[in-house]
Amino acid sequence: MMENRRAKLSEQTSDRLYEWIVEEKRYPPGSKLPNENELSEALSVSRTTLREAISFLVAQGVLEIRRGKGTFVSEDLPDPGMDLSALAGIRSRVRAKDLFEMRLIFEPATVALACQRASDEELEQILNKARRVEQAAAQGGDWPLADQEFHWAIIRASHNEYMRRLYPIINGAVDEIMQIAQNRQHMQDIALSDNLMILDFLLQRDEAGARHAMSIHIKHLINTLRD
């Protein structure tokens, strides 16, 4: 129960920080956020909750962490009209299935574009994100967040602006589902095995293979909704 309350608070904190950045424009694109102490005090939350909220916004592409420099607002923010909570409240298997069916349309095409357009550096970043998912799972950490960052890195490497803007909406809804999922262990096992399959084709720049691998991954997730 304690963990659920903390997760809820970190979600509320990320929503509030998102509003400050995107809607109220307190921190413009490219600007540095206040230090951790100041920001946690302004938001009336602990530094642990603040870190979790920031991690979520990093996964959404709203914030980026620059080592040794601090946390910065992304230069390329998601469209303010695309509210991260636009698809909130997903509570039924039917609606969750609809979401994953949308991903089935969206993400295989995106990974195929990434095969074409990703720089070698971006492929290396995607590889590192996949390794972080494995590390988080092995250490009992926040593997869903690491998995979101893996998929976000693929979206960025597609170099398609509309796909980049759409993903935060989809990702916010996926996060809603993960908060209530009863079969997280099964989903973790799927993520670990399927990510390696996707990554293998992506590193070879095999568009057809990567597209197929991503389709299989989403279908695996859809099947978990029937369990």
16 inside domain = yes
Among candidate residues 17, 38, 73, the one where a domain is terminated: 73
pLDDT at 176: 65
Domains contained in the chain, number: 2
Indicate if 61 and 127 belong to the same structural domain.
no
The answer to the question of residue 156 being in a domain is yes
Long-range Cβ pairs for the range 217-221 (8 Å, 24+): 217/190, 218/100, 218/103, 218/104, 218/107, 218/108, 219/104, 220/190, 220/194, 221/100, 221/103, 221/187, 221/190
Does one domain contain both 68 and 107? no
Instruction: Tell me if 171 sits within 8 A of 59, measured CB to CB.
Output: yes
> Is the pTM value of this prediction over 0.75?
no
Parts of the chain with a pLDDT under 70: 1-8, 23, 78-95, 172, 175-182, 226-227
Structure confidence at residue 227 (pLDDT): 57
Q: 121 and 216 share a domain?
A: yes
Q: Are residues 139 and 57 in the same domain?
A: no
Q: Provide the pLDDT for residue 151.
A: 92
Does residue 82 fall inside a structural domain?
no
Q: Are 164 and 77 in contact (CB under 8 A)?
A: no
Residue 86 lies in a domain: no
Contact between 32 and 123 (Cβ < 8 Å): no
pLDDT tens track for 67-93: 888 999 988 775 554 444 444 443 344
Residues 63 and 112 in one domain: no
| Closest among 94, 92, 84 to 19, alpha carbons compared | 84
Domain endpoint, select from 15, 44, 73: 73
Q: What gap in Å lies between CA 132 and CA 150, rounded to an integer?
A: 8
For the chain, count helices (H), then strands (E).
9, 2
- Confirm whether 85 is domain-assigned: no
Q: Domain check: are 63 and 98 in the same one?
A: no
Nearest to 23 by CA among 85, 86, 63, 83: 83
20 lies in which domain range? Answer: 2-73
Indicate whether 112 and 208 sit together in one domain: yes
86: tokens are 């636009």
Q: What is the pLDDT of residue 179?
A: 63
Query: Residue 92: its pLDDT value, please?
Result: 44
208, amino acid identity: A
Q: What is the pLDDT of residue 180?
A: 59
Residue 49 lies in a domain: yes
CA torsion sign for 162, 168, 174, 176 is: negative
| Distance (Å, whole) CA 81 – CA 64 | 21
Q: State pLDDT tens for residues 44-59.
A: 999 999 998 898 888 7
The four Cα atoms 36, 73, 86, 199 give a dihedral, to 10 degrees, of: -100
| Same domain, yes or no: 45 and 140 | no
Check whether residue 99 and residue 63 sit in a common domain.
Answer: no
In a domain? residue 66: yes
Tell me, yes or no, whether 200 and 142 share the same domain: yes
Helices 2-18 and 36-43: crossing angle in degrees, nearest 10, is 100
Tell me, what's the pLDDT at 82? Answer: 45
